[in-house]
Structure 1
Amino acid sequence: MPATFPARPLILAAALMSAVAPIPAAMAQTSRAAAEIAAAVAAPTRTAANVARDRYRHPAETLAFFEIKPTDTVVEIWPGGGWYTEILAPYLKGRGTLWAVDFWPDSLKGVRALQAKDPALYGAIRLAAFPASGDQPVVPSGSADAVVTFRNVHNWQMGYKRDGKDYGLEAFRQMYAMLKPGGVLGIEDHRLPEGDDVAREKSSGYVKVSTVRRLAEQAGFVFEGASEINANPKDTTQWEKGVWTLPPRFANGEVDKEKYAAIGESDRMTLRFRKPK
Structure 2
Amino acid sequence: MKAGFICSLALAAAVVATPAAAHDHDALAKAVAGDHRTEAFTARDGARHPVETLRFLGFDQNHVIVEVSPGGGWYTEILAPAVRDHGKLIAAHFPEDAESAYMQRVRGEFLAKLAAAPEVYDQVEVIGYKAGTDNALGAPGSADLVLTFRNMHSLMRQGTLEAFLADAYAVLRSGGKLGIVQHRAPAGADPEAGKDSGYLPQDWLVEQVEAAGFKLEASSEINANAKDTADHPGGVWALPPSLRHGEENRDKYLAIGESDRMTLRFVKP
- Is 1:198 aligned to residue 191 of structure 2? yes
Tell me which amino acid in the other structure corresponds to 2:71.
G
Of stretches 79-88 and 140-149 in structure 1, the one that deviates more from structure 2 is 140-149
Q: Which residue of 2 aligns with 1:47?
A: 38
Tell me which amino acid in the other structure corresponds to 1:232.
N
Q: Which residue of 1 aligns with 2:127?
A: 128
Contact 1:101–1:108 (CA under 8 A) maintained in structure 2: no
Contact 1:129–1:136 (CA under 8 A) maintained in structure 2: no
Q: Which residue of 2 aligns with 1:36?
A: 27
* Alignment root-mean-square deviation, CA: 1.9
Contact 1:100–1:111 (CA under 8 A) maintained in structure 2: no
Distance 1:259 1:226, change over 3 A: same
- Equivalent pairs: percent with the same residue? 44
Distance in 2 between the 1:134 and 1:201 partners? Answer: 25
Distance 1:133 1:189, change over 3 A: closer
Distance 1:184 1:133, change over 3 A: closer
Distance in 1 between the 2:139 and 2:133 partners? Answer: 15
Q: Which residue of 1 aligns with 2:259?
A: 266
Describe the SS at the equivalent of 1:254.
Answer: coil
- Structure 1 stretches of 4+ with a deviation exceeding 3 A read 132-138
Distance in 1 between the 2:193 and 2:230 partners? Answer: 10
Tell me which amino acid in the other structure corresponds to 1:199.
E
Q: Which structure is larger by alpha-carbon Rg, 1 or 2? A: 1
Distance 1:81 1:264, change over 3 A: same
Q: Which residue of 1 aligns with 2:165?
A: 172
TM-aligned CA deviation for residue 173 of structure 1: 0.5
Q: Which residue of 2 aligns with 1:58?
A: 49
For 1:243-274, what per-residue CA distance to the aligned partner results, in whole angstroms no more than 9, with x for missing partners?
A: 01000111111111111111100000000000
* Structure 2 length-normalised TM: 0.84
Tell me which amino acid in the other structure corresponds to 2:206.
R
How do 1:1-277 and structure 2 match up within 5 A?
A: 32-33=24-25, 35-105=26-96, 106=104, 107-131=106-130, 138-157=137-156, 159-160=157-158, 166-276=159-269
Gaps of 5+ in 1: 1-28, 161-165
For 1:133-163, what per-residue CA distance to the aligned partner results, in whole angstroms no more than 9, with x for missing partners?
A: 7799752221111000000001122x21xxx
Number of equivalent positions: 240
Contact 1:209–1:269 (CA under 8 A) maintained in structure 2: yes
Describe the SS at the equivalent of 1:270.
Answer: strand
Distance in 1 between the 2:188 and 2:125 partners? Answer: 41
Describe the SS at the equivalent of 1:191.
Answer: strand
* Structure 1 length-normalised TM: 0.82
Distance in 2 between the 1:203 and 1:132 partners? Answer: 21
Distance in 2 between the 1:41 and 1:247 partners? Answer: 21
Tell me which amino acid in the other structure corresponds to 2:42.
V
For 1:218-256, what per-residue CA distance to the aligned partner results, in whole angstroms no more than 9, with x for missing partners?
A: 111011010000000000011111001000111111111
Describe the SS at the equivalent of 1:243.
Answer: helix
Contact 1:73–1:98 (CA under 8 A) maintained in structure 2: yes
TM-aligned CA deviation for residue 109 of structure 1: 2.3
Distance in 2 between the 1:172 and 1:130 partners? Answer: 13
Tell me which amino acid in the other structure corresponds to 2:115.
A
